[in-house]
Chain A
Amino acid sequence: MGVTIVNPTSYEAAPRSVPRVTVPGLDGLTVGFLSNSKTNADKVLEGVATALVGRFGITPRLYAKRVPSIAATDELLDRIAAECDAAVVAMLDCGSCASWAVADMAALAARALPVCGMVSTQFEGFSRQVLAIQGADALGLSVIAHPIGGIPPQEAFERVTPAAVDVVVSALTTGTDKESAA
């Protein structure tokens, strides 16, 4: 015999509903950089932007939301989608800020914008779980060394290695099928 219980949990999983959007290449495009105002998020984005300007001649546009622990407004997200061809979001390096940055990523992707998130090592697994909750696990994350807050700004800038930039480029230009094949 067993013991029958009423299920105190739920097994429901969010449907995968936010596909990855890509562009064929970044040459000459306008790329939006959305900072959530975490310390050094702007420096990380500057590191990515500097590399993408050098490699592809992109035009960077910087955006920010003031409070990282809530969603970016629809107005801001609409504006980024209207003004940019792709977007990079930073910084995913704490719990509430990363969870809402992931939600912002999903919201940008739902606006048909290629998007990549900048995540610190200690929050990669977490952010991938939250992406799955958002139905957005197809979106890309570029991982850089934790922590990002509490270090000199120049060091945060330098943590954006060429390899990390490669991941950003791939997330914005390569579909998940080709990326997994590679």
Chain B
Amino acid sequence: MSVYGPTDLIDIADVHDEDAAAEQLHRWGWTDGLPVVVPTPQRVERFLAASTRDPDASLGPIAPRGAELTLRGLAANAVMAGCLPAYMPVLEAAVVAMRQPDFNLYGMQMTTHPCALMVVVQGPLAGESGIASGAGCMGAGFRANGTIGRAVRLVAMNIGGARPGEGEVAGDIDRATQGSPAKWSFCFAENQGDSPWPSYASELTWPDGWEPTDDVVTVAAVEGPHNINDHQSSTGKNLLKTIAATMSTPGANTAYRGGDQFLALGPEHARVLADSGLSRRDVQEYLFENARVDATRVGREKLDEASLWGGYRLKLDEWGHRVPIARAPEDIRIVVAGGTGKHSAWMPTFGATWSQSVRLPRTAGGEFTVAPLNETARWANDLESE
């Protein structure tokens, strides 16, 4: 057993069994409301043994509270979520992703927006861990999907210190107006086997290249999935019309043109597009040009603010009052996920955030590698003094 520090262990002295201990965890506000597995040292030890790093490793501070996350703390939350020890490397990578400054965990944890922590896993480890990528992969029914996403949320709440509420009770600083079911858990794997295109991860600009054996975890602050139903279109052109129209909504934060959003194409939809000769980039470019918000249908007050934040007040005429939902085509991220059926899903971004993709160490003891962001993330956004 590893050596524990003075605050690593808690003796819940007035309980006699794990059922009572679990109830105490609920009373202390350390759960997401669902039943939890009690993180006994024996259970946590098994998770630490499956991790890529030393049990004493610090994973860095977690916003907004800024408290340090230790590997033990991560393991304890993974136990509570019902994870298996084998999921630990995925969770470690997810934490690395969430901690990148441009992810803006500080803001996304406290916003009134309902953004969730979406975790997308790619590479051999996804299959080995049982992370579903096929039918129903964004919904209930899969232990790895459900518990990995849940563990990430528990870390955000228990270490990051943001629980939902109105800000009047200590720690209730997740100010989501309504939240989202996706804030319980939102994790799935890319369905590379049924994708007509190279994997999402392979097209990121890794400084040292991409290899088919790479395992990559992407975390994004996005809304839960919006369905895109098109059972009829037989050509890419027709299908893209449906997708673009669905994404042309003024209520999503994409109207501010910040951050990157995700389109998860069902394999049948992806096949229709590919059979029409369209690459992933072709689809991104089409959607960038055609998934536009009709500014003439947006109220003046809303448009004033959105165009100010998005920096396009002076562009509306030039754009014909059709507002792009991203800064550039590459900010419309595309993965393939799901099973049989003519449905896809769109996950609009929180906006003031950039998704982060993290590659797991290629060799034992190696480092986690963060993929470079799109250039658009560096665009200036400050007004001049007036």
Where the two chains meet, the residues of A that have a C-beta atom closer than 8 Å to any C-beta of B are 1-12, 14, 37-39, 61-70, 72-73, 75-76, 79, 94-96, 98-100, 103, 122-127, 129-130, 133, 149-150
Instruction: Mark contacts of B156-196 with chain A using CB atoms, 8 A cut-off: 1 yes-contact digit, 0 otherwise.
Output: 00110100001110110111100000000000000000000
Q: List 8 A-B contacts (CB under 8 A).
A: A2-B12, A4-B10, A4-B12, A7-B73, A14-B66, A63-B383, A70-B104, A125-B167
* A66 in contact with B111 (CB, 8 Å): no
Known: A12-B67, A67-B381, A69-B352. A4 touches B9 (CB 8 A): yes
* A61 in contact with B385 (CB, 8 Å): yes
Task: Give Cα A10 to B4, complex, Å.
Answer: 14
* B104 in contact with A69 (CB, 8 Å): yes
Say yes or no: is B130 at the interface (Cβ < 8 Å to chain A): no
* A130 in contact with B173 (CB, 8 Å): yes
- Closest CB pairs A-B (n = 6): A126-B167, A95-B175, A10-B67, A69-B352, A96-B111, A2-B13
Known: A8-B76, A96-B352, A126-B167. A67 touches B309 (CB 8 A): yes
Say yes or no: is B68 at the interface (Cβ < 8 Å to chain A): yes
Minimum CB–CB distance for A128 against chain B, Å: 8
* A1 in contact with B16 (CB, 8 Å): yes
Task: Give Cα A49 to B189, complex, Å.
Answer: 53
Known: A66-B309, A103-B106. A5 touches B9 (CB 8 A): yes
Say yes or no: is B208 at the interface (Cβ < 8 Å to chain A): no
Residue of B nearest to A123 (CB): B167
Minimum CB–CB distance for A138 against chain B, Å: 18
* A2 in contact with B309 (CB, 8 Å): no
* Most B C-beta atoms less than 10 A away, residue of A9, A62, A66: A9
Where the two chains meet, the residues of B that have a C-beta atom closer than 8 Å to any C-beta of A are 4, 7-18, 20-21, 25, 30, 38-41, 44, 64-69, 72-73, 75-77, 79-80, 104, 106-108, 110-113, 154, 158-159, 161, 166-168, 170-171, 173-176, 256, 258, 301, 304-305, 308-309, 311, 350-352, 381-383, 385-386
Known: A3-B15, A7-B73, A10-B67. A150 touches B301 (CB 8 A): yes
Minimum CB–CB distance for A49 against chain B, Å: 13
Residues of B within 8 A of A127 (CB): 167
Task: Give Cα A132 to B44, complex, Å.
Answer: 32
- Known: A12-B65, A123-B167; 17 extra A-B contacts, CB below 8 A, are A3-B15, A3-B17, A5-B41, A6-B4, A6-B10, A7-B73, A8-B76, A8-B154, A9-B67, A11-B7, A37-B309, A66-B311, A66-B383, A73-B382, A79-B385, A96-B113, A129-B173
**Per a CB cutoff under 8 Å, which of A37, A64, A73, A123 touches B305?**
A37
* Most B C-beta atoms less than 10 A away, residue of A2, A123, A130, A149: A2
Residues of A within 8 A of B113 (CB): 95-96
Task: Give Cα A36 to B295, complex, Å.
Answer: 23
Known: A69-B111, A96-B107, A100-B106. A4 touches B40 (CB 8 A): yes
Residues of B within 8 A of A69 (CB): 104, 107, 111, 350-352
**Per a CB cutoff under 8 Å, which of B13, B73, B110, B168 touches A99?**
B110
* B12 in contact with A3 (CB, 8 Å): yes
* A3 in contact with B309 (CB, 8 Å): no
Known: A10-B68, A96-B113. A5 touches B38 (CB 8 A): yes
Minimum CB–CB distance for B109 against chain A, Å: 8
Task: Give Cα A176 to B7, complex, Å.
Answer: 33
* B258 in contact with A5 (CB, 8 Å): no
* B176 in contact with A8 (CB, 8 Å): no
* B69 in contact with A39 (CB, 8 Å): no
Residues of A within 8 A of B25 (CB): 5, 8
Minimum CB–CB distance for B305 against chain A, Å: 5
Task: Give Cα A11 to B65, complex, Å.
Answer: 10
* B9 in contact with A6 (CB, 8 Å): yes
Task: Give Cα A4 to B11, complex, Å.
Answer: 4
* A99 in contact with B40 (CB, 8 Å): no
Residue of A nearest to B304 (CB): A39
Task: Give Cα A75 to B385, complex, Å.
Answer: 12
Known: A12-B67, A66-B309. A5 touches B167 (CB 8 A): no
* A68 in contact with B40 (CB, 8 Å): no
Task: Give Cα A61 to B386, complex, Å.
Answer: 8
Task: Give Cα A92 to B155, complex, Å.
Answer: 26
Task: Give Cα A155 to B41, complex, Å.
Answer: 58
Residues of B within 8 A of A129 (CB): 167, 170-171, 173
Residues of A within 8 A of B350 (CB): 69, 96
**Per a CB cutoff under 8 Å, which of B30, B73, B110, B159 touches A96?**
B110
* A99 in contact with B41 (CB, 8 Å): no
Residue of A nearest to B253 (CB): A69
Residues of A within 8 A of B10 (CB): 4-7
* A67 in contact with B175 (CB, 8 Å): no
* A66 in contact with B21 (CB, 8 Å): no
Residue of A nearest to B31 (CB): A8
* A65 in contact with B166 (CB, 8 Å): no
